[in-house]
Structure 1
Amino acid sequence: MSVRALPPRSDERGSDGQLTYEAKAWNQCLEECEPAFEALQAELSRIRNGLLDMIDALSSDAHAASFQSLGQYRSALLKVARPLAAEVKP
């Protein structure tokens, strides 16, 4: 899932047909922001996938019943949750 949150580039042109100074500056600003924005989208996607894995582990009765003890089940849930917690940096 990719959401475009950055505004579009400017194509504002002056009387000479060239991009205006403001348009060039705006486009340069967007170019500098895009890598950080894409990295943030990738990080959010990894976190979302981890949450979905956790939801799957918690919602499956068959998965829960496959363990011999509550301790084993809890350990399996923690094994899914710990990498997710590590993804979230304060």
Structure 2
Amino acid sequence: MNDTIKIVCCCGAGICTSNYLREEIEDRLKAEGFKKVKVVISKVNDLEEAIVGADLLATTVELQRDYGIPQVRALGIMLDDAAATEALDNIVQILRQRK
């Protein structure tokens, strides 16, 4: 059984913003004691492929589809400390409930 948590970070182009999200999420999860986490980045157009096997989707864009996994609108991570804390807290809470 694969107990690695897979998170997909999605933005419009799949470059700068999703990379920043990935770094922030990895740092927070490491600080929270999560050991087996794989965070991948994706642009919206490639999300169908990237989402396979994922446990959580963190996105900066509004998506028109439900992918059947928890989805966090993580734009707040880019905005200010309070919004970033709220989004990251939400991610941690979802992943803890997964265990």
Which structure has the higher relative contact order (CA within 8 Å, separation 6+)? 2
Give the TM-score normalised by the residue count of structure 1.
Answer: 0.25
Structure having the larger proportion of residues in helix: 1
Whose Rg is larger? 1
Give the TM-score normalised by the residue count of structure 2.
Answer: 0.23
